[in-house]
Chain A
Amino acid sequence: EAQVTQNPRYLITVTGKKLTVTCSQNMNHEYMSWYRQDPGLGLRQIYYSMNVEVTDKGDVPEGYKVSRKEKRNFPLILESPSPNQTSLYFCASSLRIPGLAGGSYEQYFGPGTRLTVT
């Protein structure tokens, strides 16, 4: 089954304790991105990747890191989480890069990771 998987689905942690949220897609998609969703603010892009070893900042990158060593995986790293990073996080992938002519950039989203930082 074609899908985007995220782990863990739920995580409660304390300020300053490094954590990683994994994301994997099995559709051979080029483009992957991370979003956070907060009430009234919609989905805000944290980081995105156009291909292996190519990553770039989105709208709210502060406090986050990513890597894209393999095409299928795009982990989100919080080196020193803080309470303002409490949020619902989504990983997404698409076959092509948004905006490229002739490409399908339908975003396939993972099920989400609800993170609470106390």
Chain B
Amino acid sequence: TQLLEQSPQFLSIQEGENLTVYCNSSSVFSSLQWYRQEPGEGPVLLVTVVTGGEVKKLKRLTFQFGDARKDSSLHITAAQPGDTGLYLCAGVKTSGSRLTFGEGTQLTVNP
């Protein structure tokens, strides 16, 4: 069983649509990160959220950390083909020092 469960696993949408990806757990995290990975490359950090209820925006991407710090979401507005990639959430449990990754959401944005 994954500590961090992401949904959906696969998402294929048309350019211009909005979408939300979820990252859920039964554990409490001191912080959560979102990474994006393109084929043939390693993941690259998009954002870190550390406070329950925190919302961060990165252009068309909005990240939210749940009030109880057990979940997070990534919302993309007006998706573009350049948003295509594997989105991974990762978290550090409270009192922990290890980073655990979810299984990822493969997003395809069709022109």
Beta-carbon contact of B42 and A42 below 8 Å: no
Beta-carbon contact of A99 and B30 below 8 Å: yes
Beta-carbon contact of A42 and B2 below 8 Å: yes
Beta-carbon contact of A97 and B45 below 8 Å: no
Within 8 A of A (CB), among B48-105: 48, 88, 90, 92-93, 95-104
Beta-carbon contact of B2 and A100 below 8 Å: no
Of B40, B43, B95, B97, which is within 8 A of A107 by CB?
A: B43
Beta-carbon contact of A99 and B45 below 8 Å: no
Beta-carbon contact of B101 and A44 below 8 Å: yes
Q: Mark A13-37, 1 if CB is under 8 A from B, else 0.
A: 0000000000000000000010100
Interface size class of B (residues with CB under 8 A): 20 to 34
Chain A residues within an 8 Å CB radius of B35: 107
Complex CA distance for A105 and B97, rounded to whole angstroms: 10
Q: Mark A90-103, 1 if CB is under 8 A from B, else 0.
A: 10100001111000
Report the minimal beta-carbon distance from B64 to chain A, rounded to whole angstroms.
19
Chain A residues within an 8 Å CB radius of B103: 40-42
Chain A residues within an 8 Å CB radius of B102: 42
Beta-carbon contact of B41 and A42 below 8 Å: no
Number of interface residues of A (CB under 8 A): 26
Beta-carbon contact of B101 and A43 below 8 Å: yes
Of B6, B30, B33, B98, which is within 8 A of A58 by CB?
A: B98
- Known contacts A42-B6, A90-B43, A99-B30; 12 additional CB pairs below 8 A are A33-B99, A42-B101, A42-B102, A42-B104, A43-B43, A45-B99, A98-B97, A99-B92, A99-B93, A99-B96, A107-B90, A109-B44
Chain B residues in contact with chain A, CB under 8 A?
2, 6, 9, 30-31, 33, 35, 40-45, 48, 88, 90, 92-93, 95-104
Q: Can you list 10 A-B pairs with a CB-CB distance of less than 8 A?
A: A40-B9, A42-B104, A43-B104, A98-B92, A99-B93, A99-B96, A107-B43, A107-B99, A111-B40, A111-B42
